[in-house]
Amino acid sequence: MSDSELEKAHRRLIEEIEMNARETENFTGRGRFSNAVMAAMAKVPRHEFLGDNHQGVAYSNRPQSIGFGQTISQPYIVAVMTDLLDLKPTDKVLEIGTGSGYQAAVLAEVTGHVYSMESVRSLAASAAKRLKRLGYDAIKLRHGDGYTGWEEEAPFDAILVTAAPETIPRALCDQLKVGGRMILPVGRQFSPQILKRGIKLNDGRVSFRSTLPVAFVPMVKGPKEEH
């Protein structure tokens, strides 16, 4: 696709995300996403996070395979998950599941303190190179087990998980600040999954509520060379 075609497709996608927000307000409580989130979605070039053979579908509002059994999330889902974190520019956020780096780049447009973990070494390495090339070299990226989080950098103001565990990892709850927000899909693959939003209470518990029905790849345990 030419640059002008990619730009037009990107604008259409932003309009579709705005429409999706209105359509799902009964689930999320948000009929419109914040200006900061929508500006990030409009700025990050999603086609840069997919191979050349997939540029024609880069701005389609659906997930795409990136290999190793992983996907780059549907743009609307990236937007709604980012919005549900209620990020401030000073917030420190942990992402579990770097993938190609697209969600991390969107987060980095909203806050300057992004930490991202990826369990597949090859994806972590390629994402690091891609993010640096695109100017997102402030993102701190690590190859490791997302179930254990990033303890030495905790606590975090927000945690976002881009793959579905069957149960919410305790370590991630522990690494959230009081008042911090967590957003993640929960459930088995090929079974009903629910996007949950949590807030950490003063007593150390994280109170979760359900939002959207979703479909994510499963969250895997342990750092992997390959899947």
Q: Supply the CATH number for residue 129's domain.
A: 3.40.50.150
CA angle 163, 86, 90 (to 5 degrees): 105
**Domain presence at residue 66:** yes
Domain that holds residue 97: 62-214
Strand, coil or helix: 12? helix
Place of tokens 């409580």: 29
How many Å apart are CA 168 and CA 149, to the nearest integer? 12
pLDDT for 32 beyond 60: yes
The better pLDDT of the pair 226, 27 is held by: 27
Strand, coil or helix: 164? strand
Domain count, the chain: 1
121 token code pair? 């070494």
Give the pLDDT band (50/70/90) at residue 225.
Answer: low
Question: Nearest CA to 94 among 57, 130, 139?
Answer: 139
**Percent share of the chain, pLDDT over 70:** 98
**Domain presence at residue 24:** no
**Domain presence at residue 13:** no
Average pLDDT over residues 107-120: 97
pLDDT for 11 beyond 60: yes
The chain-wide mean pLDDT, for the chain, equals 94
**Domain presence at residue 14:** no
Give the pLDDT band (50/70/90) at residue 227.
Answer: very low
Strand, coil or helix: 110? helix
pLDDT for 178 beyond 60: yes
Give the pLDDT band (50/70/90) at residue 41.
Answer: very high
Give the pLDDT band (50/70/90) at residue 221.
Answer: confident
Average pLDDT over residues 22-41: 97
Q: What is the DSSP letter of 61?
A: S
Q: What is the DSSP letter of 203?
A: T
Average pLDDT over residues 68-77: 91
How many Å apart are CA 185 and CA 81, to the nearest integer? 10
Q: Is the dihedral of CA 195, 17, 156, 71 positive or negative?
A: positive
pLDDT for 78 beyond 90: yes
**Domain presence at residue 103:** yes
Please give the torsion angle defined by the CA atoms of residues 37, 86, 60 and 43, in that order, rounded to the nearest 10 degrees: 20
**Domain presence at residue 163:** yes
Catalytic residues: 73
**Domain presence at residue 111:** yes
Question: Nearest CA to 37 among 20, 58, 51?
Answer: 20
**Domain presence at residue 47:** no
